[in-house]
């Protein structure tokens, strides 16, 4: 399983970002080989509009199975769903915490966006 976590930093000890589209980084963890990579989301952090859908396309290109962040707008949620990626609403700790919960299937998978579009 490949897990993408919206992160406020570049380490597993960084907090999960409450924002999906404007998170500064995405940390990708692969449970098959225990690999870990950090991807910058700088192209979307300060964009005027479309950050969510662009971030969703960027994350989908990483072949992830699940994405964890505190909030997802309707366009990002729709794009991730169309790519077959599960969305978990969670930002109550670190990236390491999110990965652990995902591995243990303890994250609740969302069935809809939880914020309006253009939310910051």
What pLDDT shows up at residue 118?
56
Residue 110, CB half-sphere, CA atoms under 13 Å: how many? 22
Q: What is the pLDDT of residues 81-113, one digit of tens each?
A: 999 999 999 999 999 999 999 999 999 999 999
Answer positive or negative: Cα dihedral of 116, 43, 18, 101.
Answer: positive
Residue extents of the structural domains in the chain:
2-103
Task: Tell which CATH classification among 3.40.109.10, 3.40.50.360, 3.30.420.130, 3.40.50.1000 matches the domain 2-103.
Answer: 3.30.420.130
State the pTM of this model.
0.93
Q: Which residue, chain included where needed, has tokens 């509009």?
A: 49
How many Å apart are CA 78 and CA 72, to the nearest integer?
A: 9
Q: What is the mean pLDDT of the chain?
A: 93
């Amino acid at each position: 399983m490949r897990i993408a976590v919206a992160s406020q930093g570049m380490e597993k000890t960084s907090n999960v970002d409450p924002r999906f589209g404007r998170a500064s980084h995405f940390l990708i963890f692969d449970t098959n080989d225990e690999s870990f990579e950090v991807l910058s989301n700088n192209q979307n952090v300060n964009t005027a509009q479309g950050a969510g859908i662009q971030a969703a396309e960027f994350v989908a290109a990483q072949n992830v199975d699940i994405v964890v962040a505190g909030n997802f707008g309707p366009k990002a949620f729709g794009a991730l769903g169309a790519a077959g990626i599960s969305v978990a609403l969670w930002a109550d700790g670190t990236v390491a915490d999110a990965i652990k919960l995902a591995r243990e299937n303890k994250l609740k998978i969302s069935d809809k966006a939880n914020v309006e579009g253009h939310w910051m």
